[in-house]
A and B are shown apart, each in its own frame.
Chain A
Amino acid sequence: MSDTLDHSDRPWLDPDTAPFIKVDGITKKFGGFTAVDQVDLEIFRGELFSLLGASGCGKTTLLRILAGLETPTSGKVWIDGVDITQLPAYERPVNMMFQSYALFPHMNVAQNVAYGLKRDGIPKEEIVQRVGQMLTMVELSGFSKRKPHQLSGGERQRVALARALVKRPKVLLLDEPLAALDKRLREQTQFELMRIQEQLGVTFIVVTHDQEEAMTLSTRIAVMNEGRFIQIGPPTELYENPDNRFIASFIGSVNLFAGHTLTRNNDLYTIALNKHDLQCQIEHTQHLDNGSPIWVAVRPEKITLSTTPLAGEGLNQLMGTVDDIAYTGNLSTYRVKTQSGDIVEVTHPNQSRSRGSQLIADWDDTVYLHWTSADSVLLSE
């Protein structure tokens, strides 16, 4: 651990910390189809790491390679300094929670949870004790004699979690752990998962297609597409500093304006939007030639809406008319049509309760959109 900077919460920033899980050039091909394409990944002890992507992006295949349920075409996997690439699933220090839960239908809850401990030849008294502890932790103490078909979806999910955790694995793999639950239960269970993960200190790797879930749960997220990682980082970094248009539009919603660079002063680029009469200055660390095509990305909540024009240093302004309003309770989303015909999304918190005042503008009103250059991101790809 470094003396000057404490990275205990963010081990990936500390060059001295050895990764707990190391994925090295893993490729998996199914016939002619490449599911996972030359990926490298380092995950640290105690992380809650998410693999995020649309279905078919290779995230589940990568998880199954970590579990030993799939053999990689090439590449290696290390856990805690041991090369486990050739180890069969039943000898790996990892456990998995399956998307379908995969509970044994002929065994009751206690037998399901005890299954892994029995395979390790653990004494009977210890099995009973550890199963009891686990069921208490997932709040299913009274359910030990029930069969899976007598449980609700949420209860089954907790049995699956208990069964996977009871062996005290070095890594817990969770394949879409919350996908089968309804929205309310899902939100509740997210915090439950985080509590359990903190309590046990086990490294979690979660596969999910739900970006909100990944944002809530994770220390870091790896966004996957077509078998490759597009960007790896903490939720705030993915949201505020996306590397490219794919990430910007995959995580949350974003307004993208096409433009080109005019001049450069150190890291500060002056750019012009193609379809709008607007110039602004945005920081960008990579080198771009003058005249390069770029995109300016602005999140809907970073734009303010007003019915009168505002003036200010570094304030970008566009004029348009309100095309549509979506009221969602806490927020209202305005879809504003600019003079060039583009639709710009703006969200506005409904802070006041009084009737009518939530809406700052009505349909077809002329409105002005403002944002500061610091709140926009310059994307080159």
Chain B
Amino acid sequence: MEPALPHRMTRLARKLQFSLNGVIIAIPFYWLLIFFLVPFVIIFKISVAESLIASPPFSPLFDIAHNGALSVHLVFDNYAYLWEDSLYIKTYVNSIRISTISTVLCLLLGYPIAYAIVRSAPTTRFVLLMLIILPFWTSFLLRIYAWMGLLADQGTINNILIYLGLINRPIRLMYSEFAVHIGIVYSYLPFMILPLYANMEKLDHTIHEAAADLGARPFTTFLTVTLPLTIPGITAGSLLVFIPATGEFVIPDLLGGGNVLMIGRVLYNEFNANHDWPVASAVAIVLLLVLVIPMMLYQHIQSKETNG
């Protein structure tokens, strides 16, 4: 008899296990490959084409001549154009500036809120968390329209201020950077609070007591203990707010109008108003690089720090 039968069976089981692990990893891997990488490649392809009045409105990448020779058609004019026309650089800078300010505002508002939720009684904590998540159950677009109603010249806020006699005539709230900040902070605050909450919840509260016991005043405790230990939450929350806010289209379009230049609106205009798909694609690719390169640098530095 073959004594190694059970052994062989475990080997088979291990093999099966291995392939099962492979399948589990493969599903999200191919999902990302298909639904992220493929569109990205298409956008990149369009960005190196020439604008045409045709359908589709850009030149093909590969061309087969009458003699059968294959020619590859690559044009980097669109990228050069973004650099030459100051509008684009100005818009990128403006987008980053606006989303930076909004991210900082979200952090300043979200940090104490997350801290208060973590420190509240378990039953209250659940209610507070639900209140943070509740707005997601209504359409994002609808909530921005609601803000238009609140901020308009004849809107709720102005009417209340006039009724209270604090102002004589409506102050201009809509179609300003102020309105855009309100829109971004309002929409993205939960994305700041939730990672901060998850981070703070894991902290052992007794370390705050230990700091106080060792002579640290509350503010010193915050600076030396709480803040360093919540940096992962601050980073995650800030990225979750900053990245989508930079490319935001709906908020600057509806609340900022023509007064606030953000890259999302420029991109939309290039596609829809100008029908210049190649330039629009180049705008999208540059935006992606602007957002991804600092993140990769940050990750690189962080992994160096943890290993070093």
Chain A residues packing against B (C-beta within 8 Å): 67-69, 88-91, 94-96, 98, 100, 102-106, 115-116, 119-120, 163-164, 167
Which residue from chain B places its CB closest to the CB of A120 in the assembled complex?
B215
Q: Tell whether A90 pairs with B229 under 8 Å between CB atoms, given A98-B209, A102-B209, A104-B210.
A: no
Shortest CB–CB separation between residue A67 and chain B, in angstroms? 6
Q: Tell whether A96 pairs with B213 under 8 Å between CB atoms, given A102-B206, A106-B228.
A: yes
Shortest CB–CB separation between residue A127 and chain B, in angstroms? 13
B206, A98: Cβ atoms under 8 Å?
Answer: yes
Top 7 A-B pairs, shortest CB-CB distance: A116-B214, A119-B215, A102-B210, A102-B206, A89-B212, A102-B207, A96-B213
A104, B225: Cβ atoms under 8 Å?
Answer: yes
Which residue from chain B places its CB closest to the CB of A88 in the assembled complex?
B212
Which residues on the A side are within 8 Å of B228 (C-beta)?
Answer: 106
Per DSSP, chain B at the interface is helix
Shortest CB–CB separation between residue A303 and chain B, in angstroms? 46
B216, A90: Cβ atoms under 8 Å?
Answer: yes
B8 at the interface (CB under 8 A from A): no
B220 at the interface (CB under 8 A from A): yes
Q: Tell whether A89 pairs with B213 under 8 Å between CB atoms, given A98-B206, A102-B206.
A: yes
Which residues on the B side are within 8 Å of A103 (C-beta)?
Answer: 207, 210
A102, B204: Cβ atoms under 8 Å?
Answer: yes
B154 at the interface (CB under 8 A from A): no
Which residues on the B side are within 8 Å of A67 (C-beta)?
Answer: 213
User: Once the chains are docked, how many angstroms separate the CA of A144 from the CA of B120?
Assistant: 36
Shortest CB–CB separation between residue B209 and chain A, in angstroms? 5
B217 at the interface (CB under 8 A from A): yes
A119, B216: Cβ atoms under 8 Å?
Answer: yes
Chain B residues packing against A (C-beta within 8 Å): 204, 206-207, 209-217, 220, 224-225, 228-229
List 11 A-B residue pairs with CB atoms under 8 Å apart, sorted by A's residue number. Answer: A90-B212, A90-B216, A96-B209, A96-B210, A98-B206, A102-B207, A119-B214, A119-B220, A120-B215, A163-B214, A164-B213
Which residues on the B side are within 8 Å of A90 (C-beta)?
Answer: 212-217
| Residue from B204, B207, B215, B228 whose CB has the most chain A CB atoms within 10 Å | B215
Which residues on the A side are within 8 Å of B229 (C-beta)?
Answer: 105-106
Which residue from chain B places its CB closest to the CB of A111 in the assembled complex?
B224
Which residues on the A side are within 8 Å of B224 (C-beta)?
Answer: 115
User: Once the chains are docked, how many angstroms separate the CA of A158 from the CA of B56?
Assistant: 72
User: Once the chains are docked, how many angstroms separate the CA of A120 from the CA of B217?
Assistant: 11
Which residues on the A side are within 8 Å of B211 (C-beta)?
Answer: 104, 115
User: Once the chains are docked, how many angstroms separate the CA of A51 from the CA of B19?
Assistant: 58
Which residues on the A side are within 8 Å of B216 (C-beta)?
Answer: 90, 115, 119
Shortest CB–CB separation between residue A338 and chain B, in angstroms? 50
Which residues on the B side are within 8 Å of A104 (C-beta)?
Answer: 207, 210-211, 225
Which residues on the A side are within 8 Å of B204 (C-beta)?
Answer: 100, 102
Shortest CB–CB separation between residue B221 and chain A, in angstroms? 8
| Residue from A69, A88, A102 whose CB has the most chain B CB atoms within 10 Å | A102
User: Once the chains are docked, how many angstroms separate the CA of A346 from the CA of B209?
Assistant: 47
Name the one of B206, B207, B214, B225 contacting A95, with C-beta atoms under 8 angstroms. B214
Shortest CB–CB separation between residue A114 and chain B, in angstroms? 10
Which residues on the B side are within 8 Å of A102 (C-beta)?
Answer: 204, 206-207, 209-210
Which residue from chain A places its CB closest to the CB of B231 in the assembled complex?
A106
Which residue from chain A places its CB closest to the CB of B208 in the assembled complex?
A102
Which residue from chain B places its CB closest to the CB of A94 in the assembled complex?
B213
Shortest CB–CB separation between residue A134 and chain B, in angstroms? 13
User: Once the chains are docked, how many angstroms separate the CA of A91 from the CA of B220?
Assistant: 13
User: Once the chains are docked, how many angstroms separate the CA of A67 from the CA of B209?
Assistant: 10
Shortest CB–CB separation between residue B162 and chain A, in angstroms? 47
User: Once the chains are docked, how many angstroms separate the CA of A88 from the CA of B206?
Assistant: 16
Name the one of B215, B217, B225 contacting A116, with C-beta atoms under 8 angstroms. B215
Which residues on the A side are within 8 Å of B213 (C-beta)?
Answer: 67-69, 89-90, 94-96, 164
Shortest CB–CB separation between residue A94 and chain B, in angstroms? 8
User: Once the chains are docked, how many angstroms separate the CA of A272 from the CA of B220?
Assistant: 67
| Residue from A69, A90, A103 whose CB has the most chain B CB atoms within 10 Å | A90
User: Once the chains are docked, how many angstroms separate the CA of A116 from the CA of B221?
Assistant: 11
Which residue from chain A places its CB closest to the CB of B228 in the assembled complex?
A106
Which residues on the B side are within 8 Å of A106 (C-beta)?
Answer: 228-229
